[in-house]
Amino acid sequence: MVRPRAFDEEKALQAAMELFWEKGYEATSLSDLTAKMGIQRPSLYSAYGDKKELFEAALRKYNQFHSSYLRARLQSGTSVKEAFRSLFEGIIAEGYGEGPNRGCFCLNAMVELAPHDAKFEVLTREHQMYLTVIFQETLERGIRAGELRSDVNAKRVAQTLVVAMIGLTVFLKSRPDRAFAENSAATILDLLQ
Amino acid sequence: MVRPRAFDEEKALQAAMELFWEKGYEATSLSDLTAKMGIQRPSLYSAYGDKKELFEAALRKYNQFHSSYLRARLQSGTSVKEAFRSLFEGIIAEGYGEGPNRGCFCLNAMVELAPHDAKFEVLTREHQMYLTVIFQETLERGIRAGELRSDVNAKRVAQTLVVAMIGLTVFLKSRPDRAFAENSAATILDLLQ
DNA sequence: ACTATATCATACTGAACGGTATATAACATT
DNA sequence: AATGTTATATACCGTTCAGTATGATATAGT
């Protein structure tokens, strides 16, 4: 005996995610949000809580999406080495697309919020840990398949690839010469022998 | 026949730099600034222009300071390899200090402003280019001294070290396990043979 | 059809925002 | 000491901020 929601909560959350991803937390206003989400202010508050809670929900949604995306990219493809190469190449290509370079939502949140908010310190750290596990498992698969040398330390290399991916993603925000980005990616990928 | 400034412009700018460095552009208010700088609002506007211009002046000051700091660290020390190791170790140590992890002001600005403001895209990119030159020159010195193998591609390795340093600095904002940071730094520094 | 309940749209709240007008105070030159 | 110029301090400007009170509206169960 209640009136049902007239908007799609997932769709609206997706819209909020896009906005926070592109502009960050502070620079995104509630008016920006309600406009893009296509809902009114009280609907937002009743469905998601305040601005910080909405941001957190958006980031969690992004992290899920991002993990799935990376796992899929690393599982498909002919080889582990080629999968990583393609992944890094895709990140670089993304950096030179049109429009503002939004990079990785989780890294943006790590820079803007993690140092001042323990909740986001944990949330962003745990996502990187999860990505590291995905990388490590992929490397171990490559070792088992005989594609990578058996003396490769999968955990250490995975950690290094994650740090390098973070560096590359952030660096691309300044739109450096493409050769710079390509060189550093290629040098890092030489870890995969 | 004029009244002289009653405050030290460099000291006040330094105070603004500390504040923007720790909190970012959007999260820092003019009231925060005037309080920490110890001056009144009209003094701020007459001396530095508006908020964005003050931020730019603060970032330029930081970049100068940062370049000098890195150059000094890489020149002192017993060897090039040891200098880089010590530099990365210092970055990690900084990440586990008390208080909020402010990281690198230039990288914070790159994430928050570069995608939406061409001026900061250029400013942050040029600083990274300058750091790359410092790294490259240091590596070339190591090659000349016979400390590094002569087939090391100084430019490519310098670019890779810059990207890795960016990744490490940003990653530390989420306060990961220290062993993670140490592992990735050590693996990167293995490039120096 | 009626009622209970939750959602909707509008309009509003006090506070904080970036930026400035105004008037007083302090100095260097004459 | 008088004058012209700039820095200072206070108080204010209109706007925008995050968040909410209010009342109309729509639906599900009776």
- Kindly report, residue by residue over B45-94, the tens digit of the pLDDT: 999 999 999 999 999 999 999 999 999 999 987 899 999 999 999 999 99
Q: How far apart are CA B16 and CA A136, in angstroms?
A: 43
Q: Looking at chain B, which residue has its C-alpha nearest residue A162?
A: B167
The answer to whether B141 touches B167, Cβ cutoff 8 Å, is no
Which residue carries 């990616």 as its tokens? A185
The answer to whether residue A16 sits within a structural domain is no
DSSP state of A97: S
Question: Are B187 and A156 an interchain contact pair (Cβ–Cβ within 8 Å)?
Answer: yes
Q: Is the pLDDT of residue A98 over 80?
A: yes
Angle (CA) B60 B65 B66, round 5° = 95
Protein-contacted positions of strand C (CB under 7 Å)? 3-11, 16-22, 25-29
Q: State mean pLDDT over B18-38.
A: 96
The answer to whether residue B164 sits within a structural domain is yes
The answer to whether residue A183 sits within a structural domain is yes
Domain that holds residue B102: 60-189
- What pLDDT sits at residue A20? 98
- Tokens of residue A15, six digits: 């819209």
Q: Measure B17 CA to C23 C1' (Å).
A: 32
Neighbours of A186 (CB within 10 A): 15
Average per-residue pLDDT for chain B: 96
Of A115, A128, A176, the CB nearest to B125: A176
Q: State mean pLDDT over A82-93.
A: 97
* Total number of domains in chain A: 1
The answer to whether residue A7 sits within a structural domain is no
In terms of C-beta distances under 8 Å and separation of at least 24 residues, what long-range contacts does B40-43 make, across chains too?
B43/B5, B43/B7
Q: Measuring CA to CA, which residue among A169, A172, A140 is closest to residue A66?
A: A169
Q: Is the pLDDT of residue A187 over 80?
A: yes
Please, which pLDDT band fits residue B4 given cuts at 50, 70 and 90? Answer: confident
Q: Is the ipTM of this complex over 0.85?
A: yes
Q: Is the pLDDT of residue B110 over 90?
A: yes
- Tokens of residue B65, six digits: 């300071």
Please, which pLDDT band fits residue A78 given cuts at 50, 70 and 90? Answer: confident
Query: Rounded to a whole number, what is the distance in angstroms from the first to the last CA of chain A?
Result: 64
CATH number of the domain that A156 lies in?
1.10.357.10
Q: Measuring CA to CA, which residue among A165, A169, A100 is closest to residue A131?
A: A165
Of A167, A174, A184, the CB nearest to B114: A174
Question: Are B166 and A165 an interchain contact pair (Cβ–Cβ within 8 Å)?
Answer: no
The answer to whether residue B142 sits within a structural domain is yes
The answer to whether residue B13 sits within a structural domain is no
- Tokens of residue A126, six digits: 């745990």
- What pLDDT sits at residue B80? 97
The answer to whether residue B135 sits within a structural domain is yes
DSSP state of A4: P
The answer to whether B87 touches B73, Cβ cutoff 8 Å, is yes
Q: Measuring CA to CA, which residue among B165, B167, B170, B186 is closest to residue B74?
A: B165
Q: Is the pLDDT of residue B158 over 90?
A: yes
The answer to whether residue A38 sits within a structural domain is no
Contacts of B181 in chain A (CB under 8 A): 163
Please, which pLDDT band fits residue A1 given cuts at 50, 70 and 90? Answer: low
Question: Which of A31-40, B74-83, B128-137, B167-176 is least confident?
Answer: B74-83
Please, which pLDDT band fits residue A63 given cuts at 50, 70 and 90? Answer: very high
- What pLDDT sits at residue B1? 64
Q: Measure A12 CA to C1 C1' (Å).
A: 35
- What pLDDT sits at residue B29? 96
Q: State mean pLDDT over B4-32.
A: 94
Q: Is the pLDDT of residue A17 over 80?
A: yes
Q: Which residue is nearest to nucleotide C10 (CA to C1')?
A: A40
